[in-house]
Structure formats: structure tokens, C-alpha cells
Amino acid sequence: MSLDKTLESITERDLQALVDDQKAERKTLEYKQTLPGGSDDNRKEFLADVSSFANASGGHLLFGFEEQAGVPQKLVGAQVDDIDGLKLRLENMLRDGLSPRLLILPRLCGGGKSSDILFHKEKKNHGQEPKDLHRRV
């Protein structure tokens, strides 16, 4: 399965194909079992993952996967009761923890089986990519 389709069109079958095909993590793809919690350690790990993607070419953080050595083992799903609340919480973490600011698009995909957080760099200077590195603050 390729993640070059729209998030809205990704199905549970697509997500399961990542497991079946043993699609390993790479520069633009990372698996997590659970969504980031509110602890300092969770916040730091989340910001490190995001700043890594932001300083490269962007990417997908897929939550709801058991993985071993970067290879997905099982699609377990991510419980998200309030997608708007999740988006607000993650945006606040990013606003307070990274500079320059990022735009994020959290989406439930696969019929709610997994949560994909897709990051886009904010455009500045008439559509040019920002030249600053994203860093934790």
C-alpha cells in the first residue's frame, strides 16, 4: 500500500496491507502504538518525531500499530473520541514546543481504525518553503 492517496480514501484494508507487506519505517513514515499522552516525556518524543519530519520532506506518523524494529506487526487501532480536541491538543503542543510553527492535519483513516497525523510546512515569503529548521523550544 502506498500513502500517496488522500487520507480520506485510506481504508482499513490499506492499513492492514502495511502490516501484511511489512512496510518498514522510513524517512517519511513512522508507526506508533498510542497517541501522545500529556506527560513531559510523551511531549518531547512527539516533538522530536515532528521536528524530524519537518526538517526533512514531511511525512506520516501512523498511530495504532504495534511495531518491532520499525516493521508493523499488528494493526491495533487508536482510540480517538474527539478528533477536534486531539487536533487542538497537538496544535498547542506544536505551537508551544516548536519554532517556526507547523500546520498539522490529523485524520482518522481506515474507518477510524488508525489515526494518521500528516504534517505540512507553513508557507512563507509568497509560497516559498521556510528556510528555518524546526526545533524544539
Report the Cα–Cα distance between both ends of the chain, in Å, rounded. Answer: 36
CA-to-CA dists, residue 120 to 50, 79, 104, 135, angstroms: 10, 24, 6, 15
**pLDDT given for residue 115 in this prediction:** 56
64: which 3 cell numbers?
A: 495504532
Domains of the chain: 7-123 (3.30.110.10)
**Would you place residue 125 in the very low, low, confident or very high pLDDT band (cuts 50, 70, 90)?**
very low
Q: What is the C-alpha separation between 84 and 75, in angstroms, rounded?
A: 23
pTM of the predicted protein model: 0.75
Q: Residue 108: pLDDT above 70?
A: no
Q: What is the per-residue pLDDT across 76-94, written as a single tens digit (0 to 9) for each?
A: 887 778 878 887 888 888 8
CA atoms within 13 A on the CB side of 47: 23
Distance from C-alpha of 26 to C-alpha of 99, rounded to nearest angstrom: 24
**pLDDT score of 42:** 92
CA–CA separation, 20 vs 52, rounded Å?
Answer: 27
Q: By 3-state DSSP, what share of the chain in percent is helix, strand and coil, each rounded to 5?
A: 30, 30, 40
Q: For the segment 6-64, what is each residue's pLDDT rounded down to a tens digit?
A: 767 777 888 899 999 999 999 888 999 988 888 999 999 999 988 888 888 777 888 88
